[in-house]
Amino acid sequence: MKDKKEQQKRRIKQRYARELRETRRQAESAAVGASQATDVIRDTIQAGSSFWTGHKGVLIALGGFALLFVLVVSLLSSCSVLFESGAGALLSGTYTANDQDILGADGDYARIEADLQAEIANMESTHPGYDEYRYNVDEINHNPHELISYLTVRYEDFTQAEIQEVLRCVFGNQYVLTLTEEVQIRYKTVTTTSTDPETGESIMDTEEIPYEYHILHVTLKNRGLEATVFPELTPKEQERYRLLLQVQGLKPYLFGEDIYANPSEGGTYEIPGEALSDPSFAALIAEAEKYLGYPYVWGGSSPSTSFDCSGFVCWVFTASGVCNMPRTTAQGIYNQCTRISPSEAKPGDIIFFTGTYNSPGPVSHVGIYVGNGRMIHAGSPIQYADINSNYWKRHFYAYGRP
């Protein structure tokens, strides 16, 4: 990530360097033009010297006026070039749409994502009759600056109403949901009892009976918004897109509380020594830190598949030996815990959030509290996060203790 940002910065510096060179070139061209104009005036004066010999006062006045005119034109030309270059760079890095339309467009895209999340969450009720449902689902999210940078490059001063079809098209390219039915032939043992007609004794017979076992595979691939839209842009548009993304359209306040607009919010964290003096918490965090950097995978519940938020918490508590926590949802974990107040929370407790997506229950996200206002959770990727950030404070629900 750091290398990527450094490359972006170098590209921006190179862009400004090119613009500066162009500005200097045009300024030099203007100066050459001024010099040529002066030469023309001088030649004209020399050609008519026989006439002007007797009119020296007029000659001096006219010559002064001509030189002043050339100087003013040259200065205005240079200033104009500089102004246009600076204004062009400023405009290139600015979201040109109205703030209300920008927020509205991103909100519309987020609502389409929420509908997709709800569709997957309700899959077992909308597609009943299967013996098993298997999920391999990427996280549903987007960086709003990627979306608005793309819309700005392609549609400039867009309105929310104008780009509804565009949003649907981008969404359809970013997310690919597939449902695949698998039918396995399995066998069950059937035991029957009969009576021997000669002896009257009971006879037990067993038989392996084949049957169909139906599995619905639910797969969602999130290609990433940038990977979806970037190849559509021309090289010049790609350069501007990178600039807009780097400077956040000179409007970072629009998505200041969005964790996906500021993906580096997790950072690193060193567990305090006093917290590690608790053997249970030390075992818990040792297991949890094995998976730092693992991607978020909806429905994931083991290292082989990676994790979603509840799968991560269930695995860590069980694998560390702290307590057996069978695989369940974030709401299911909350239902097994004793609710405690924030003042009572200590490292190793569980923190719950609400409204992070359109979940069937009030609890939609879960993490492990590690003290000092931090948690470790299956974000994007598995990472530490500051629970006092505006986003997490807005969605906080409760603390619980298993």
pLDDT at 300: 86
Name the one residue in this structure whose structure tokens are 């509205």.
104
Query: Is the N-terminal amide bond of 252 cis, ω within 30° of 0?
Result: no
**pLDDT value at position 32?**
40
Residue 202: the pLDDT is 85
pLDDT of residue 378: 92
- Tell me what pLDDT residue 115 has: 93
The packing angle between helices 235-247 and 2-47, to 10°, is: 110
- Identify the pLDDT of residue 21: 47
- pLDDT at residue 297, as a whole number: 80
Q: Which of 148, 333, 145, 131 is nearest to 214 (CA)?
A: 131
- Both tokens of 381, joined, read 């990727």
Q: Distances from the Cα of 176 to the Cαs of 51, 141, 221, 252, 359, in angstroms?
A: 86, 13, 5, 30, 20
Maximum CA extent, the chain: 156
Could you give the C-alpha distances from 79 to 38, 67, 253, in angstroms and in order? Answer: 20, 18, 32
Nearest CA to 136 out of 215, 227, 225 is that of 215
Q: What is the separation, in whole angstroms, between the first and last Cα of the chain?
A: 36
Strands 202-222 vs 132-138: parallel, antiparallel or unpaired: parallel
pTM, 2 dp:
0.58
pLDDT in tens, the chain (402 residues): 445 445 544 554 454 445 434 434 443 443 344 344 434 334 443 444 443 444 444 444 444 444 444 444 444 444 444 344 455 556 788 999 999 999 999 999 999 999 998 899 899 999 999 999 988 888 788 999 999 999 999 999 999 999 999 999 999 999 999 999 999 999 999 988 888 888 878 888 889 999 999 999 999 998 889 889 999 999 999 999 999 998 999 999 999 877 778 765 556 788 888 889 999 999 999 999 999 988 888 788 999 989 989 999 999 999 999 999 999 999 999 999 999 999 999 999 999 999 887 777 899 999 999 999 999 999 878 999 999 888 899 899 999 999
CB distance 317 to 287 below 8 Å: no
Q: Tell me the CB-side half-sphere exposure of residue 66, using CA atoms within 13 A.
A: 18
pLDDT for position 71 = 45
Q: What is the pLDDT of residue 65?
A: 43
Burial class of 294 by CB neighbour count within 10 A (0 to 12, 13 to 18, 19+): middle
C-alpha–C-alpha distance, residues 15 and 239, integer Å: 9
pLDDT at 389 (0 to 100): 84
**203 strand-pairing partners:** 194
